[in-house]
Structure 1
Amino acid sequence: MSSAFLAGLMAFLACALILPKPGRGLHRLTAPIPRRDKPDGRSLPRLPSLARLSLVVSAAATVLLLLGVQVLVSAAAIGVVLALAAVQRAQQQRRTAAAARRAQIIEALDVLAADLTAGRPPIAALEGAASISPDFQVAHAAAKLGGDVAGALELAAESPGGAGLRALAAAWRVTEESGAAFAALTERLSSSLRADETIHRQTEASLAGARSTARILAALPIFGIALGYSLGADPLTFLTATPTGWLCLTAGLSLTTLGLHWTARLSEVAR
């Protein structure tokens, strides 16, 4: 494994860390991976996740120890960079999924309020909302069976992006206990959630620049390594083959990880 190969690989990982996630249109072109089944229709047995992970780690550790300390340090650094990229991608996916879920809930509340205002019973109105958002399906089933609709809504509200369902559950309980007009409460709740979502989107737009800056700053050391090679130096050999380089590499990766985590925490607090 040459130093030039490692530099190119780390530069590729830096680009993967910075580039945004592919749009929804690209995912539609991707076909789902079919499951491998036996001829009789049964799924093939799989090893437990922990056992597979242990086998992979053991084999990787054996190979790396045979190849030498320099390769071991290089692989560890690449693993940290991959982990950082995976964490950034996962955070972005969670934010996107939560935003999509909030939009679905608001749209379903609009349908629910319109049906209730038109005079439809709550069970039929919940059916219309369930056709828009899957979060209302359990509540609709509970309403048909005479169960705890508010409890079903509160259970669905535990996932990210479902805070509006908790308010709807409170409105349902108020209606059951006091006989208040559920249509008026639902309409007011929909308007309130829509206003909150507008503020939330404005906050996300304001924080997008800070997140992008943090990612660029995290990737700058990798481009600095490429610059060192262009000047005739050999920075990867220094970082992976000398004790002083190991200390610098550990400190750099630790500070990068801390900076990205700190930026994520600040953005969460700001929301």
Structure 2
Amino acid sequence: MNPVVAVVLAAALLVAPGPAGLRRLGAGRSGARPRIPIPPAPVAAMAVGALVGGLLGGVAGAPAGAAAAEVVRRRRRRSRDRASSVAEAGELAESLARIVAELRGGAHPAAALDGVRADGPLAERTLAPAAAAARLGDDVPAALTRVAARGSTRLRAELHRTAAAWSLAERHGAPLAALLDGVLTDLRWRLAFEARTHARAAGARATASVLTALPLLGLGLGHLVGAAPLAVLRDGLLGQVLLLVGVALLLAGVTWADRLAAGSAS
């Protein structure tokens, strides 16, 4: 099959609507329709990768494409998780800053927590159970701990610190505003430090991306000069072995570079 057709088929599979999209598409249709089973993200990514790899690289291209698709999916998921975690921590910091300001202005802790509904969707989802507990006279630190158990690693740590500060203020009568301000200062310092280290590792990540793209550029240049590198890799046992070894080394290099960048940013 033509490589262009393979790429178009892969793009069609990648942009196919997910379960929510299928439900919206079927909402306006009358009558009951059989539901189309949607495979999990890892299975779908590996299936698309195996399809493209098999069309372009033959028998060995299928497992190579599946492995490459799974590595790309995991990298994208880590990037999305980090962005979501940073946004969540940023909204939590802004919400804590507002709560501290209202407490210092003489507001009741329940009233200060109740304003979380205007702090943003992430902060509201995080602190709304604590606000409800404060309105009902329930245990606010326990509510924060319950939310922390369902959150990300970063959010779990920050909410545990907030719960500890709140519990200390309730047990010993320490100023709640001062304790929460300490938690806020620590959270802002952590966010600033992570932003600096992440920016410092940008050069390493860019170098890794360029080095990863070089083999693909080499295949393109080979086609331009008429060497037909894909035909060499697709035909014969030696070409298939070279394809598997090359993709394995490429993915190992990508994974290693990601770990190095993550280590320098931690």
TM-score by shorter chain over 0.5: yes
SS state of the match for residue 119, structure 1?
coil
Matching of residue 192 in structure 1 with residue 195 in structure 2: no
What is the deviation of 1:205? 0.3
| Selected match of 1:249 from 223, 243, 246 | 243
Aligned to 1:178: 172
SS state of the match for residue 94, structure 2?
helix
Q: Percent identity?
A: 30
Matching of residue 159 in structure 1 with residue 152 in structure 2: yes
- In 1, the alpha carbon distance for the partners of 2:145 and 2:259 equals 26
- In 1, the alpha carbon distance for the partners of 2:213 and 2:197 equals 25
- In 2, the alpha carbon distance for the partners of 1:264 and 1:118 equals 46
What is the deviation of 1:169? 0.9
Aligned to 1:141: 132
- In 2, the alpha carbon distance for the partners of 1:68 and 1:5 equals 10
Superposed CA deviations along residues 135-161 of structure 1, whole A, max 9, x for unmatched, are: 111111122233332232233333244
> Greater RCO between the two (CA within 8 Å, min separation 6)?
1
| Selected match of 2:254 from 252, 260, 264 | 260
CA distance 1:207–1:142, change in 2 (3 Å): same
Superposed CA deviations along residues 237-267 of structure 1, whole A, max 9, x for unmatched, are: 1212221122211112112222222233333
Aligned to 1:99: 86
Instruction: Give unpaired runs (5+ residues) of structure 1.
Output: 14-31
Instruction: Give unpaired runs (5+ residues) of structure 2.
Output: 12-19
Query: Counterparts in 2 of 1:50-89, with a 5 A limit?
Result: 71-89=58-76
Aligned to 1:113: 100
Matching of residue 36 in structure 1 with residue 29 in structure 2: no
CA distance 1:68–1:204, change in 2 (3 Å): closer
CA distance 1:115–1:44, change in 2 (3 Å): farther
What is the deviation of 1:75? 4.3
- In 2, the alpha carbon distance for the partners of 1:105 and 1:54 equals 35
What is the deviation of 1:9? 4.5
- In 2, the alpha carbon distance for the partners of 1:124 and 1:197 equals 27
Aligned to 1:129: 116
TM-score by length of 1: 0.75
- In 2, the alpha carbon distance for the partners of 1:130 and 1:115 equals 15
- In 2, the alpha carbon distance for the partners of 1:175 and 1:212 equals 47
In the alignment of these two chains, the number of paired residues is 244
- In 1, the alpha carbon distance for the partners of 2:178 and 2:56 equals 69
8 Å Cα contact 2:56/2:230 also seen in 1? no
Superposed CA deviations along residues 166-220 of structure 1, whole A, max 9, x for unmatched, are: 2111101111221111011111221221122111100110112212221221221
8 Å Cα contact 1:139/1:153 also seen in 2? yes
